Amino acid sequence: MAESTKNATLSIDGKSWDLPIYSPTAGPDVIDIRKLYSDAGVFTYDPGFTSTASCDSTITFIDGAKGELLHRGYPIDQLAGKSHYLEVCYLLLYGELPSAEQLEIFESTITRHTMLHEQMVNFFRGFRRDAHPMAVMVGVVGAMSAFYHDSTDISDPYQREVASHRLIAKMPTIAAWAYKYSVGQPFVYPRNDLSYAANFLHMCFAVPAEEYVVDPILARAMDRIFTLHADHEQNASTSTVRLASSSGANPFACVAAGIACLWGPAHGGANQACLEMLKEIGTPDQIPEYIARAKDKNDPFRLMGFGHRVYKNFDPRATVMKQSADEVLDLLGVENNPILATAKELEKQALADPYFTEKKLFPNVDFYSGIILEAMGFPTSMFTPIFALSRTVGWVSQWKEMLNDPQNKIGRPRQLYLGNTQRDYVDIENR
Ligand code: SDX
């Protein structure tokens, strides 16, 4: 915990209270209000937590003004360019880049946790074929707590470690099998001779009828997408995992809650919504109409893939994703992809419009990811499951950090109550 270096003074009706201020290694100072209610009898009010730090953390830092994203201090563009997903997983989980030996042990451990308990296959068969794969992931990940009882005791550091590895390792298998089930193809089992990303592509696109060789450029692009989505401070789904965990719930139930939260179109569901929006716009000549709708206060339509609670500059992940989109589409010979052309023209027109620039609404991570995933052959319904797969390491790292935090206690926000004061029950004959 940071040391208080100065105080803020709050004055109400002639009385005043000193509130400790802590200075971070990066980012804004924070005012400690934990004793505010007991000392001054008032709550703070911050719907959506726009000005509230829910915890202290050493994992990820975002500078929204600069468009900077650091994982344990390393910039995302360096990690995306020089590292790979499982190495970033190690960094997020343990705080430092691994030695060659540490990385080999970690990758071998994750590789050998990729299989699901065979009886879990029955869960998939209980869903309709047209179930959204996010519904399947919420259900199957939650059900892991019914199969992996030897890693649900959160008071046991060893079980926490095993649960972390199982979640990171099995998410690709669960996501791939949700996809296979939706297209009526047999499940493809994980292979220990493939990299994490190549294994996921193989489980998604291989069929028993012929050999499927993973293109290394697509595997690299997939791995980069995983890395770009790995963690992102206290976003809605990570905060959901932390809040669920604060009650002592097991890690599988907490991550299932995070998956459910990520599904929303304002959060991880934006990549699916963005591609559907681009398809609805169709050709670049339709763009002005949609930009006008996004600016119209009376129209609920928003440009999906634009804007961010924290980034008031370019999302650095979007910049890397845009480069990756060009590479993948060139490789697949779809560099003339009409959707990509529409996306680039939409970005150009939006960023030339004062409404977006004045409100600091720039493309976020979801704006280009969907274009790459579609070019790779994924249906839009698989975009958010891939985001959830990628973000699992972030959820798990933040979950572990929280459990090791001596300040950890159950999260229980208060409210500004505007309802009826006490009144007596009225019998129905008198209403
Ligand atoms: C992710 O938190 C994270 O870190 C999330 C994430 C992660 O890695 O975990 O980065 C992943 O969720 C990225 C965001 C994906 N969502 C979308 O692309 C959906 C579209 N974007 C918006 O819904 C919105 O920008 C949010 C939800 C992302 C952020 O909303 P805020 O911070 O609550 O801002 P707001 O809704 O109060 O908007 C501020 C203003 C409003 O106008 P005014 O009322 O001030 O006049 O900007 C407008 C909004 O109407 N606005 C938009 C807009 N986003 C905000 N107008 C048009 N199109 C948009 N996309």
Same domain, 91 and 39: no
Decide: 304 in ligand 1 pocket, CB within 6 A.
yes
Mutate-to-test residue for ligand 1 from 308, 313, 349, highest number of ligand atoms within 8 A of CB:
308
- Which pLDDT does position 371 carry in this prediction? 87
In a domain, 428, yes or no: no
The model's confidence at residue 335, banded by pLDDT at 50, 70 and 90, is low
Same domain, 22 and 151: no
The model's confidence at residue 352, banded by pLDDT at 50, 70 and 90, is very high
User: Average pLDDT in the 247-251 region?
Assistant: 96
Domain count, the chain: 2
Mutate-to-test residue for ligand 1 from 259, 361, 371, 393, highest number of ligand atoms within 8 A of CB:
361
pLDDT digits over 152-207, tens only? Answer: 999 999 999 999 999 999 999 999 999 999 999 999 999 999 999 999 999 999 99
Same domain, 19 and 141: no
User: Average pLDDT in the 103-128 region?
Assistant: 96
User: Average pLDDT in the 110-133 region?
Assistant: 95
User: Average pLDDT in the 333-349 region?
Assistant: 84
Question: Is residue 366 among the annotated active site residues?
Answer: yes
In a domain, 203, yes or no: yes
List CB contacts of 157: < 8 A, sequence separation 6 or more. Answer: none
Tell me the residue range of the domain where 79 lies. Answer: 65-398
In a domain, 370, yes or no: yes
Give yes or no for residue 334 having a pLDDT over 80.
Answer: no
Decide: 360 in ligand 1 pocket, CB within 6 A.
no
Which has more confidence, 323 or 385? 385
The model's confidence at residue 393, banded by pLDDT at 50, 70 and 90, is very high
Same domain, 41 and 77: no
Same domain, 92 and 48: no
CA-closest residue to ligand 1 atom 27: 266
Backbone angles phi, psi at 269, to 5 degrees: -75, -5
Backbone angles phi, psi at 19, to 5 degrees: -115, 125
Report the candidate in 76, 57, 58, 59 with the shortest Cα–Cα distance to residue 67. 76
**Amino acid of residue 180:** K
Give yes or no for residue 306 having a pLDDT over 70.
Answer: yes
- Which pLDDT does position 249 carry in this prediction? 96
Same domain, 290 and 326: yes
Same domain, 32 and 86: no
- CATH assignment at residue 386: 1.10.580.10
Same domain, 23 and 72: no
In a domain, 431, yes or no: no
Same domain, 260 and 166: yes
Question: Is residue 267 among the annotated active site residues?
Answer: no
Rg over alpha carbons for the chain, rounded to the nearest Å, is: 23
| Distance from residue 355's CA to the centre of ligand 1 (Å) | 13
Beta bridge partners of 70: 61, 75
Same domain, 302 and 233: yes
359-to-319, 350, 352 alpha-carbon distances in Å:
19, 11, 12
In a domain, 58, yes or no: no
Ligand 1: nearest atom to the Cα of 235: 2
Average pLDDT over the chain reads 95
Same domain, 22 and 77: no
Beta bridge partners of 8: 19
pLDDT digits over 49-104, tens only? Answer: 999 999 999 999 999 999 999 999 999 999 999 999 999 999 999 999 999 999 99
Beta bridge partners of 7: 20
The model's confidence at residue 344, banded by pLDDT at 50, 70 and 90, is confident
Decide: 235 in ligand 1 pocket, CB within 6 A.
yes
pLDDT digits over 19-29, tens only? Answer: 999 999 999 99
